[in-house]
Amino acid sequence: MLELSGQLSAYLEVTMSGVSGKVVAITGASSGIGEATALELARRGAAVVIGARRKDRLDALAERIRTAGGQAEAVALDVTRRADLQQLVAVAVERFGRLDVLVSNAGIARTGLVSDLDVEAWDEMIDINVRGVLHGIAAALPVFRRQGRGHLVTTVSTAGLKIVPTQAVYAGTKNAVRTLLEALRQESTDGVLRTTSISPGYVHTGLVDYIEDPAVRAEAQRVMAKGISPDAVARAIAFAIEQPDDVEIGEITIRPTRQN
């Protein structure tokens, strides 16, 4: 009876975790949500291929994962360069034989009134938040098609759900990605591709620390102080990934209970 109980426990442990054994590439993985997601998925048994511009932080994260018994590869990348996303996917396939999930997490927030005409900030958000996601799709989708399955998970934002002044262009980029993924979902009902949009609210990350206007930055940091941990978002991403291949979690909105 004890032997049967042990076998049943082992069986349930394997079948209940759809993350273990998967190969997941993550952009924007050097800090915040991306870093937390890499740690969470590696802890659950996934092999992670982590990408970001800050290679020193990536290498430290990969070493931390390996030291804990996980599998990780680090790739320096800039999502505005299509070749870098192709390299990220290629490393996953070469090192682990396939790619099951691409988590497109890299993103930036630049706030300001539209009338400020900060065109450089607009271009930067469009290039990273929208074009960067498209580059990931272009790199991963052919691999998913060859494999017969794949999953695109993309970090969007509640900024696109509740529009407020100073976030017009940022929210616009996030809603562009939300629309893109919904259209891609409708184009991909053959059971090969799954898409998931993760819309976090206030999260303790360094996203707003790069706002140039000191007053706006201070206010954003004050608001973000009541945010949730990146670990909470990482668990939501893991939840979407662990579902069976015939189950698609199209969108998850996750925010602090104190956020209006």
Known catalytic residues are 170
Taking the C-alpha atoms of residue 51 and residue 58, their distance in angstroms, rounded to an integer, is 7
Instruction: Indicate if the alpha-carbon torsion angle 44, 238, 240, 53 is positive or negative.
Output: negative
Question: Is residue 72 within 8 Å of 49, Cβ to Cβ?
Answer: yes
Nearest partner of 194 among 156, 239, 149, judged by Cα? 149
53 φ/ψ sector (left φ>0, alpha ψ -120 to 50, else beta): alpha
What does the alpha-carbon distance between residue 183 and residue 20 come to, in Å, rounded to a whole number?
A: 29
Strand partners, 99: none
Residue 51 φ/ψ region, left for φ over 0, alpha for ψ in the -120 to 50 degree band, beta for the rest: beta
CA torsion 63→240→82→126, rounded to 10°?
A: -110
Which amino acid belongs to residue 27?
A: T
